[in-house]
């Protein structure tokens, strides 16, 4: 679980649908690209038996980027998938969230993204709950 505020927003942005992020935060502020968006992979690990020693499960595609705003604030991004704009936008928001613009962005971008992520999660959990088996047991005569 993300511990700090920065871990929390970076995690939220990485998991958000790129199109939704672009709709909420269309214009990137003036910036200097420190690391142009680059597509690569991360090896995902599992644990033997769910709890034991780590093993290599398989890779996933990721994109990373870094940039610096004119005010000097630096932002980084590492996001799932191959969407360069997603990485750049995440890095820009990471940089802006360290400036005075943070409360506005928290309200206009992060809060809706968080609410939508929770709604998606809740919708799936509710469908899963509807498929939970409610066993009923017939009472046998001698137990009555």
Query: Residues interacting with other proteins, by CB under 8 A?
Result: 2-4, 6-7, 10-11, 14-15, 38-62, 64, 66, 76, 78-82, 121-133, 135
Rank residues 49 and 141 by Cβ distance to other proteins and give the closer one.
49
Any residues with CB less than 8 A from the CB of 54 and at least 6 apart, and which?
45, 46, 47, 48
Q: How far apart are CA 19 and CA 39, in angstroms?
A: 18
Distances (CA, A) of 106 to 18, 23, 62, 85, 114: 17, 15, 25, 20, 10
Rank residues 27 and 87 by Cβ distance to other proteins and give the closer one.
87
Q: How far apart are CA 21 and CA 57, in angstroms?
A: 29
Rank residues 133 and 144 by Cβ distance to other proteins and give the closer one.
133
Rank residues 23 and 125 by Cβ distance to other proteins and give the closer one.
125
Q: Shortest approach of other proteins to residue 66 CB, angstroms?
A: 7
Q: Shortest approach of other proteins to residue 71 CB, angstroms?
A: 18
């Amino acid at each position: 679980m993300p511990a700090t505020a920065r871990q929390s927003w970076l995690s939220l942005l990485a998991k958000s649908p790129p199109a939704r992020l672009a709709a909420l935060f269309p214009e990137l502020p003036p910036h200097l690209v420190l690391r142009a968006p680059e597509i690569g992979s991360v090896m995902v690990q599992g644990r033997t038996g769910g709890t034991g020693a780590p093993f290599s499960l398989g890779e996933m595609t990721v994109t990373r980027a870094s940039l610096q705003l004119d005010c000097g604030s630096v932002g980084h991004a590492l996001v799932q998938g191959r969407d360069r704009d997603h990485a750049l936008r995440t890095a820009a928001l990471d940089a802006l969230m360290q400036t005075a613009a943070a409360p506005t962005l928290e309200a206009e971008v992060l809060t809706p993204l968080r609410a939508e992520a929770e709604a998606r999660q809740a919708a799936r959990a509710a469908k899963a709950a509807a498929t939970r088996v409610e066993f009923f047991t017939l009472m046998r005569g001698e137990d009555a």
